[in-house]
Amino acid sequence: MQNILFFLIPKKNIEYIYDTYTIRQALEKMEYYHYTMIPIISREGKYVSSISDADLLWYIKENDLNLEKSEKMNIMEIKPFREIKSMTIDKEVTDLIELMINQNFIPVVDDVNNFIGIVTRKAVLEYLSKNIKE
């Protein structure tokens, strides 16, 4: 089986937000890149969490936020509906499958939780589809 590094999209090739961002900054970045979910990392490079557009929308609705208020609120005030679990780089593709059922991507970290990139559900499904046919 393949190691998950085979599927890795490195940190430098994806967008993420910092845990110091405001809600508005997160919304704008997600809108610009057309992301429905985005990883959150610390300024030290550690994986913190991921947040979805639904998490943002529900929070905005429940708290009657406007753009002005969202400029003053930290993204970490929002508790994601679903925890997006990360994996370490030493895992195999078979280890991804259970997480891929409920996650569009899997954040990949090293052994001290430094964020190094993501593995997308699409990449894993394409690999499995190709290898099942052979």
Phi and psi based region of residue 64 (left: phi greater than 0; alpha: psi -120 to 50; beta: remaining): left
132 pLDDT higher than 80? no
CA distance 73 to 56: 12
Residue 65's pLDDT is: 85
CA distance 113 to 72: 28
Q: What is the DSSP letter of 40?
A: E
pLDDT tens for 37-92 read 999 999 999 999 999 999 999 999 999 888 888 899 999 999 999 899 999 988 88
Instruction: Please tell me the CATH superfamily of domain 4-133, with its number.
Output: CBS-domain (3.10.580.10)
CA distance 97 to 103: 10
Mean pLDDT computed over every residue of the chain: 91
- Tell me the longest C-alpha to C-alpha distance in the chain: 55
3-state secondary structure 65-76: CCHHHHCCCEHH
Residue 88's pLDDT is: 93
Q: What is the DSSP letter of 80?
A: P
